Amino acid sequence: MTDRLFVYGTLRKDVRNSMFHLLAREARFVGRARVQGRLFSLGRYPGLVPSPDPGSRVHGEVYALDDPSGTLAHLDGYEGCGPNDPEPHEFERVEMEVVSGSSGREFAWVYVYKGPTADKQEILSGDYFKEAVSSG
């Protein structure tokens, strides 16, 4: 099990929501990174969907978790995919390959969106923060 977490939406340090403070206390920022996937706007937050297209990239950050099982349990609840959350879950935590300038390729936990995307707007830049700043 990896101790790395890739975040691409409301958990990014640029966004600084309440759950980011959990990461600031319980994890170490490793650096900016990307994963192969597509990013969709789900309203107040984005959803990443893995993609077979190597040109599809979602940008975010990697954190090294001090207590992976404890921190991930809190984040699973935040993402609505904890053991006490009703099914079907909107998100699922999976391990994916992450590419960063500082550590190259490694595996990290990523919350992926499991819902339909036909009626969702794709964030073509793959960067939620960039999109949020330009539209806000």
pLDDT (0 to 100) of residue 133: 53
Rounded Cα distance between 100 and 87, Å, is 33
pLDDT at residue 9, as a whole number: 92
Instruction: Compute mean pLDDT per 10 residues along the chain, 136 residues long, and list them.
Output: 92 80 90 96 95 95 95 94 94 95 87 96 92 58
If 0-12 CB within 10 Å is exposed, 13-18 middle and 19+ buried, where does residue 133 land?
exposed
Contact 15/93 with Cβ under 8 angstroms? no
Q: How far apart are the first and last CA of the chain?
A: 37
All domains in the chain, ordered by first residue? 4-125 (3.10.490.10)
**pLDDT for residue 101:** 75
Q: In this predicted structure, what is the pLDDT of residue 110?
A: 98
pTM above 0.85, yes or no: yes
Which of 10, 60, 63 shows the shortest CA–CA distance to 35?
Answer: 60
Predicted confidence at residue 129, as pLDDT, reads 84
Separation of alpha carbons 37 and 40, rounded Å = 10
